[in-house]
Chain A
Amino acid sequence: MSQSILIVDDDLFLAESLARLLKAQGFRPRTAARAGDALAMVTQEPPDLMVLDIGLPDYDGVSLCRQVRARHRFPILMLTARSEAMEKVVGLEVGADDYITKPFAAQELRARVRAHLRRAGEYGAGSVGRLIRVGPIQVDEESRRASVHGAPLDLTETEFRILALLAANAGRALSRERVFEEVWGYEIEFNSNSLEVLVYRIRNKIGRLGGGRPITTLRGFGYRLDP
Chain B
Amino acid sequence: MTTSGSSASSQCGSGGEIERERHLAELREDLERARDLALEREKLAVTGTLAAATAHDIRNILSALALDLEAAEGSAEDRLRAVKRHFDRFNVLAHRLLSYAKPGRVTLARMSGADSVDRVLQLLSGHLAISRVVPRVDVPRDLPRVLADAGRFDHLLVNLVLNAIQATTGGGTLDVAARVEGPWITVEVVDDGPGIPPEALARIFQPFSSTRVGGFGLGLYSCREIARECGGTVEAENLPVRGARVTVRIPSQ
Contact = CB atoms under 8 A, between A and B. Distances in A.
A58 B213 contact: yes
A144 B212 CA distance: 42
A31 to B, nearest CB: 11
Contact of B89 (A13, A18, A55, A57): A13
Interface in B174-229: 212-214
Given A21-B67, A55-B56, A13 B213 contact: no
Given A12-B130, A24-B73, A57-B212, A81 B67 contact: no
Contact of A17 (B59, B67, B72, B212): B67
Interface of B: 52, 55-56, 59-74, 82, 85-86, 89, 126, 130-131, 212-214
A82 B70 CA distance: 23
A14 interface: yes
Given A58-B213, A102-B63, A106-B66, A13 B126 contact: yes
Interface residues of A, number: 23
Contacts, number: 71
A116 B242 CA distance: 45
Interface in A24-47: 24
A107 B70 contact: yes
A96 to B, nearest CB: 18
B72 A102 contact: no
A190 interface: no
Contacts of A11: 60, 64
A12 B131 contact: yes
Contact of A102 (B52, B62, B73, B85): B62
A86 interface: no
Interface of A: 10-14, 16-18, 20-21, 24, 55, 57-58, 81-82, 102-107, 109
A102 B58 CA distance: 9
Contact of B71 (A24, A81, A103): A24
A81 B59 contact: yes
B73 A57 contact: no
Given A16-B130, A24-B73, A55 B62 contact: no
A222 B200 CA distance: 55
B66 A24 contact: no
Nearest to A20: B71
A16 B85 CA distance: 12
A104 B60 CA distance: 9
Contacts of A18: 64, 67
B246 to A, nearest CB: 21
